[in-house]
Chains A and B, each alone.
Chain A
Amino acid sequence: MSVQYKVVRCNINGKDVERVVDVRASLTDMLRNDYHLTSVKKGCEVGECGACNVLIDGECFNSCIYLAVWAEGKHIRTLESLLGPDGELSDIQQAFVDEAAIQCGFCTPGFIMTAVEILEAGKLYSDDELRKLLSGHLCRCTGYENILRAVKKTMYRRLGKEIDF
């Protein structure tokens, strides 16, 4: 076939951007190859592991099974948006480090973007609710408990509450 292209305009990490994109591209392809946002990982590429997870208009999506052309008009956020002006880590990233919730790091950007959605809801979730909200990510290293703890601690801190464990 002749390659088919389309202009895609969207807002990525707070910046309005525009690119000509191959219609066969996934959003992962576009974010990594056109915008060099390499926090977006290619894991399974079939929607199962969450390594490619990004926020689109405030909700989490696995970008590997999201066509790049669907990004038209959308607000997309990746892990890169969390860094401070001098490259400082955000509270949730620091909590992952402190809790040893990160080992090889491959699953981490995806997990953290889900954590961002959880934290921005401004709610106090139970452990069971947090487990369910985090269940779209696979981690081969940490055994999940430290990840749960990192998210839970940050949730309590942001809500100004005492941690009850």
Chain B
Amino acid sequence: MYDMKALYEALSVEEAIALRLAHPEAQIIAGGSDVLVQMREGKRAGKELISIYRIDALRGVTIDEEENIRIGSLTSFSHITKDPIIQRYCNVLGEAVDQVGSPQIRNIGTIGGNTCNGVTSADSASTLHAWEAIVELAGKNGVRRLPIHDFYIKAGTVDIRAEEGEIQTAILIPKASYENCYGHYIKYGLRNAMEIATLGCSVNVRLSPDKSTIERCRIAYGVAGPVPMRVPTAEAVANGAKPTEALLEAFGNAVIEDINPRDSWRASKAFRQHIAVEMAKRALRESIIKAGGELA
């Protein structure tokens, strides 16, 4: 038995908003793989929960009328990895979330929960930052969309207005962001399964049609700071550059300018800085190869 005060169940987004407004103290529960564990640990014991897990309308991946990739917030990690749209246009996201926990966790964990918890180590977060995802929220005043970068306020806090009854309904990846883009995610952990990232690095590139130049490069990290972050200095080094071994070196060394990892029991700051450079180089190399380019 969970030590919860009450459970309210929403079967539609409208019901969820109404329940949030009626029970401002209650916490949203999607797949519950963070919430229920915290409740078991006593951190959230005695709280009221609003379950949105059975709102089936929030599941699945589609291409919307503006050609955004639209990922319903309740889509599980395993369904993202298996999805043909993701495999075709944003394979790296499917590969990244395939590194979460274990098969059972990937069946219950949702992308909405992974972003709404505001955790820097979330395996989807660096890739969503690197692909400039848009977060969609619905509340009593209608739908609100904002860039994922602005959605993260500080460690553990995201821009969801509980007082307006908001819940997250989707993550969108705009066409300008995914078209002709290829990426690679590296998770550094102490073991392969059931492990939170010591550092996560997601890179993607769009090459010129003749594959000779990197038109656009984006890189983001998880656990390199209190929230997931882009690394503009390194991106500036790669944008417009030729894909060469020398570029990989310069790109890797440039990440140090922007990242700000800390010491924790998992790894020291110095170690994280060291692997950040190496991961950037490797992820850029893989991205270029996936995009059909060659390294000179």
The answer to whether A136 and B193 touch (CB under 8 A), given A1-B5, A24-B4, is yes
Given the complex, which residues of B lie within 8 Å of A29, measured CB to CB? Answer: 1
Contact between chains at B1 and A47 (CB < 8 Å): no
Q: CA–CA, A135 to B32, complex, Å?
A: 20
A106 near B: Cβ within 8 Å? no
Tally of B interface residues using CB under 8 Å:
29
Shortest distance between the CB of A72 and any CB in chain B (Å):
7
Docked complex: B102-135 residues within 8 A CB-CB of A: 102-105, 107-108
- Which A residues lie within 8 Å of B6 (CB)? 1, 4, 23
CB within 8 Å of A: which of B1-34?
Answer: 1-7, 9, 29, 32-33
Cα-based distance from A133 to B106 in the complex (angstroms): 11
B40 at the interface (CB under 8 A from A): yes
A154 at the interface (CB under 8 A from B): no
CA distance A133 to B37 in the complex (A): 22
Contact status of A69 and B37, CB under 8 A, knowing A114-B103, A135-B102, A136-B102? no
A62 CB contacts on chain B under 8 angstroms:
104-105, 108
A side interface size, CB within 8 A: 30
Q: Is the CB of B105 within 8 A of A136?
A: yes
* A37 lies within 8 A of chain B by Cβ: no
Closest to B35 in A: A65
How far is it, in angstroms, between the C-alpha of A25 and the C-alpha of B105 when the chains are bound? Answer: 19
A66 to B54, CA, bound (A): 12
Please indicate the chain A residues that have their CB under 8 angstroms from the CB of B41 in the complex.
46
| Closest beta carbon of chain B to A89's beta carbon, Å | 24
Cα distance A69–B2 in the bound complex, in angstroms: 12
**Does residue A50 face the partner (Cβ distance < 8 Å to B)?**
yes
Query: Which stretch (A53-61, A80-88, A97-105, A155-163) binds chain B?
Result: A53-61
Whether the pair B32, A66 counts as a contact (CB closer than 8 A) is: yes
Please report the C-alpha to C-alpha distance between residue A140 and residue B101 in the assembled complex, in whole angstroms. Answer: 19
Residues of A within 8 A of B33 (CB): 47, 65
B157: interface (CB < 8 Å): no
Find the A residue at minimum CB distance from B191. A135
B168 within 8 A of A: no
Closest to A128 in B: B192
Q: What residues of B have a CB within 8 angstroms of the CB of A47 in the complex?
A: 33, 36-37, 101, 104-105, 108
Contact of B32 among A1, A50, A65, A132 (CB under 8 A): A65
| Chain B nearest Cβ from A4, distance in angstroms | 6
Interface centre among A24, A59, A65, A136 (most CB of B within 10 A): A65
Known contacts A60-B103, A70-B53, A136-B104; 9 additional CB pairs below 8 A are A4-B7, A23-B6, A24-B3, A47-B104, A65-B36, A67-B29, A69-B51, A114-B104, A132-B192
List 9 A-B residue pairs with CB atoms under 8 Å apart, sorted by A's residue number. Answer: A1-B6, A23-B6, A24-B7, A50-B102, A50-B104, A60-B104, A61-B104, A67-B51, A136-B101
Residues on A facing B (Cβ under 8 Å): 1, 4, 22-26, 29, 45-48, 50, 53, 59-62, 65-67, 69-70, 72, 114, 132-133, 135-137
Which 7 pairs from chain A and chain B are nearest by CB?
A136-B102, A135-B193, A23-B7, A136-B104, A24-B1, A62-B104, A65-B36
